[in-house]
Amino acid sequence: MLPRIKDLAATLSPRLIEIHRHLHSHPELSGQEHQTSAYVAGVLSSSGLHIRETVGKTGVVGEITAQGPDPRLLAIRADMDALPIQEATGLEYASRRPGIMHACGHDVHTTVGLGTAMILSHLRDSLPGNIRFLFQPAEETAQGARWMIQDGVMENVSAILSLHVFPSVPAGSVAVRYGALTAAADNLEITIIGESGHGARPHEAIDAIWIASQVITSLQQAISRTQNPLRPVVLTIGQIKGGRAPNVIADQVRLRGTVRSLHPETSAALPQWVEEIVASICRPYGARYDINYERGVPTVQNSHQLSQLIEVAAQEAWGYEGVQVLPEPSLGSEDFSLYLEHAPGAMFRLGVGRKDKPNYPLHHPQFAVDESAIVTGVVTMAYAAYRYWHQCS
Ligand code: NI
């Protein structure tokens, strides 16, 4: 089956490049993927898939009904949203929309999802079981997977696969990861409430700015002395707001940040840990505080069996040199983790690194991919999917 999948992908390649360039030049922000999802729905239905539109607000679901007897339903997920970034790649197919750019490769994810759907739809008579393609909106805002799941896309799903582009792996290769792939990411907002006063008479006021600075310093110091160094925690305060004038003591400061962790026990304990530190600093100075610790997405914990499915499929397709096993997880986050609360799954990294050209990180205004990676992604995904019913018991 692999040679057949490779042939089909090679034949489809010009069409896939065309799809990718269309998507790249027409990016849409999270939750506003109306044209993208209409375009995706068009390609899916012309490839013979049964589609459902406006699933998860602006998402699309396509399903291949196979002839085979295996009741296990495989899902394949692709995200479709772009970022509020002004593109500076100079590519001929650069974004036509000022201030919006596919800088995280979700245009590649959508293209690979469509290519995989076209090939597997063509091979439906040889598929042992059914496949459901989830084209989700709003991954960047960590909302889309939740919306899709609320609309029932995980009903009857036995396993789910996905991929994310990776500029530090060369195009033509893929990377798999056993265990944790990405971190749990939570949002933190701390308001320190003091009392205003004259800048010359600090003893008559409660200085919220100074207390906030102690809170930031203590949180960073406490991580190094209270958290197990083998279970990483990263806490970044990315925004501070407070104060009215240089000679007026601020009565209120708002700190906003992100908290990343990999270990479920660590994640569970973090809200209370933050509160204890903030409380211990505010108390002696008579300041009050308000903490809003909002759970974001959990860790993407890849299923061993499904990572192996991808690794073996990729090795057969690209040889041992075309597959890396990632030794470390990332502290980035992915709302793919929410699907994993409903079925086992695995996400792999698709190398998109360009040869002889600079490679910029994800979310960079000059981020660009080697488009040959699209065929690599399609073949790997289609072949892994095909093997799912044979390899996984
Ligand atoms: Ni992304």
State the distance from the centre of ligand 1 to the C-alpha of 66, rounded, in angstroms.
31
Is the Cα dihedral 99, 103, 109, 115 positive or negative?
positive
State the distance from the centre of ligand 1 to the C-alpha of 232, rounded, in angstroms.
22
Q: What is the CATH number of domain 184-297?
A: 3.30.70.360
CA-closest candidate to residue 298, choices 342, 335, 349 = 335
Which residue has better confidence, 66 or 99? 99
In the chain, where the domains are located: 2-181+299-391, 184-297
Query: Percentage of residues in the chain with pLDDT exceeding 70?
Result: 100
pLDDT of residue 384: 98
pLDDT tens digits for range 41-64: 999 999 999 999 999 999 999 999
Kindly state the average pLDDT of the residues 372-387.
Answer: 98
pLDDT of residue 144: 98
State the distance from the centre of ligand 1 to the C-alpha of 119, rounded, in angstroms.
24
Residue 351 — pLDDT band, cuts 50, 70, 90?
very high
State the distance from the centre of ligand 1 to the C-alpha of 200, rounded, in angstroms.
49
State the distance from the centre of ligand 1 to the C-alpha of 301, rounded, in angstroms.
17
Please check the confidence at residue 113 and state whether its pLDDT lies above 80. yes
pLDDT of residue 67: 81
Coil, helix or strand at residue 66: coil
State the distance from the centre of ligand 1 to the C-alpha of 105, rounded, in angstroms.
6
- Both tokens of residue 370? 């080697």
CA-closest candidate to residue 348, choices 117, 134, 76 = 76
Annotated binding-site residue numbers: 104, 106, 140, 164, 363
State the distance from the centre of ligand 1 to the C-alpha of 361, rounded, in angstroms.
11
List of long-range contacts for 34-43, beta carbons under 8 Å, 24+ apart:
34/58, 36/80, 36/110, 37/80, 37/135, 37/137, 40/80, 40/110, 40/113, 40/114, 40/135, 43/19, 43/114, 43/117, 43/118
pLDDT of residue 368: 98
State the distance from the centre of ligand 1 to the C-alpha of 131, rounded, in angstroms.
23
Residue 69 — pLDDT band, cuts 50, 70, 90?
confident
State the distance from the centre of ligand 1 to the C-alpha of 106, rounded, in angstroms.
6
Please check the confidence at residue 393 and state whether its pLDDT lies above 80. no
pLDDT of residue 264: 87
Distance CA 240, CA 245 (A): 15
Residue 168 — pLDDT band, cuts 50, 70, 90?
very high
Q: Which residues pair with 339 in a beta bridge?
A: none
**Using H for helix, E for strand and C for coil, what is the string for 224-265?**
HHHCCCCCCEEEEEEEEEECCCCCEECCEEEEEEEEEECCHH
pLDDT of residue 35: 98
Is the Cα dihedral 155, 108, 356, 358 positive or negative?
negative
Distance CA 379, CA 13 (A): 11
Please state the CATH superfamily assignment of the domain spanning residues 2-181+299-391 in this structure.
Answer: Zn peptidases (3.40.630.10)
Residue 132 — pLDDT band, cuts 50, 70, 90?
very high
Please check the confidence at residue 185 and state whether its pLDDT lies above 70. yes
Distance CA 306, CA 386 (A): 13
State the distance from the centre of ligand 1 to the C-alpha of 307, rounded, in angstroms.
19
Q: Within 13 A of 380's CA, how many CA atoms are on the CB side?
A: 35
Burial class (CB in 10 A: 0-12, 13-18, 19+), 319: exposed
Residue 321 — pLDDT band, cuts 50, 70, 90?
very high
State the distance from the centre of ligand 1 to the C-alpha of 349, rounded, in angstroms.
11
Please check the confidence at residue 250 and state whether its pLDDT lies above 70. yes
pLDDT tens digits for range 187-237: 999 999 999 999 999 999 999 999 999 999 999 999 999 999 999 999 999
Contact 365/87 with Cβ under 8 angstroms? yes
State the distance from the centre of ligand 1 to the C-alpha of 332, rounded, in angstroms.
9
CA-closest candidate to residue 57, choices 30, 22, 82 = 30
Among all chains, which residue has been given the structure tokens 């439906």? 124
Q: What angle do CA 267, 273, 278 make, to 5 degrees?
A: 135
State the distance from the centre of ligand 1 to the C-alpha of 164, rounded, in angstroms.
7
State the distance from the centre of ligand 1 to the C-alpha of 221, rounded, in angstroms.
31
pTM over 0.85: yes
pLDDT of residue 213: 98
CA-closest candidate to residue 114, choices 59, 62, 176, 166 = 62
Please check the confidence at residue 73 and state whether its pLDDT lies above 90. yes
State the distance from the centre of ligand 1 to the C-alpha of 182, rounded, in angstroms.
12
Kindly state the average pLDDT of the residues 372-378.
Answer: 98
Residue at 7: amino acid letter: D
Residue 391 — pLDDT band, cuts 50, 70, 90?
confident
On average, the pLDDT of the chain sits at: 96
Please check the confidence at residue 390 and state whether its pLDDT lies above 90. no
Annotated binding-site residue numbers for Mn(2+): 104, 106, 140, 164, 363
pLDDT tens digits for range 135-155: 999 999 999 999 999 999 999
